[in-house]
């Protein structure tokens, strides 16, 4: 006997078409990333590339990795880990940005 709080929809099936749409979206975003580097945006280029990468990562996490259909606690954990990593980078730059 375990403490199964709120079981999610255990037999959720993601349809082939949804997955195909997600794939097309990801390929499109990849195309945009490559195309954008051709335009000279200066320092913004990296920012744009990283924002697009984050969007792609979010899509992979949500649909391919089924986060959308898991218990909420999974989403909190993932969010926490990314927050932690962002904070580590920021705190380290307290040193490098002010040397």
Partner 1 sequence: MEEHRDDIGSRMGMWIFIFTELLLFGGLFLVYAIYRADYSAEFHTAAHELNAFIGALNTVILLVSSATVAMAITAVQKENKKLALILVAITLLMALFFLVNKYFEWGHKIHLGIYPGSELLTKLERGELLFFGLYYFMTGLHGFHIVVGMILLTVVFFKIKSGAINAGSFVLLENGGLYWHLVDLIWIFLFPLLYLLT
Partner 2 sequence: METQNNQLNYIEDTQGRWGIFAWIFSTDHKRIGILYLISITTFFLLAALMGGLMRLELIAPGETIMDAQTYNGLFTVHGIIMIFLVVIPGLGAVFGNFFLPIMIGARDVAFPRLNLFSWWIYMAGAILAVYSQFAGDGPPDTGWTFYAPYSTESGTNVVAAVFAAFVLGFSSILTGLNFIVTIHRMRAPGMTWFKMPLFPWSLYATAWIQVLATPIVGITLMMIVAERLFQIGFFDPALGGDPILYQHLFWIYSHPAVYIMILPAMGVITEIIPTFAKKSIFGYKAIALSSVAIAAVGYFVWGHHMYTSGMSGTARWFFSFLTFIVAIPSAIKVFNWVATMYKGSIDARTPFLYAATFIFLFMIGGLTGLVLGSLATDVHVHDTSFVVAHFHYIIFGGMGFAFFAAIHYWWPKMFGKMYNERVANIAWLITFVGFNVLYFPLFVIGIQGMPRRYFDYLPEFHAGHLISTIGAFILLSGLFLMIINIYRAKKHVTPAGDNPWGGVTLEWQVPSPPPTLNFDEIPTITKSPYSFEK
Site residues, partner 1 (CB under 8 A):
2, 4, 7-8, 10-11, 13-16, 19-20, 22-23, 26-27, 30, 33-34, 37, 45-46, 49-50, 52-53, 56-57, 60-61, 63-66, 70-71, 74, 77-78, 81, 85, 88-89, 92-93, 96-97
Please report where in the chains the tokens 């391919």 appear, as a residue.
Answer: 64
Q: Which residues contact 8 (CB under 8 A, 6 or more apart)?
A: 69, 70, 71
| Binding residues for partner 2 (CB under 8 A) | 1-4, 73, 81, 84, 87-88, 91-92, 94-99
């Amino acid at each position: 006997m375990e403490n199964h709080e709120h079981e999610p929809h255990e037999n959720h099936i993601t349809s082939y078409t949804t997955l195909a749409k997600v794939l097309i979206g990801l390929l499109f975003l990849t195309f945009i990333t490559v195309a954008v580097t051709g335009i000279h945006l200066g320092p913004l280029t990296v920012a744009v590339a990283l924002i697009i990468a984050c969007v792609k990562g979010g899509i992979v996490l949500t649909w391919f990795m089924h986060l959308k259909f898991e218990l909420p606690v999974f989403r909190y954990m993932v969010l926490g880990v990314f927050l932690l990593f962002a904070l580590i980078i920021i705190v380290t730059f307290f040193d490098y940005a002010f040397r």
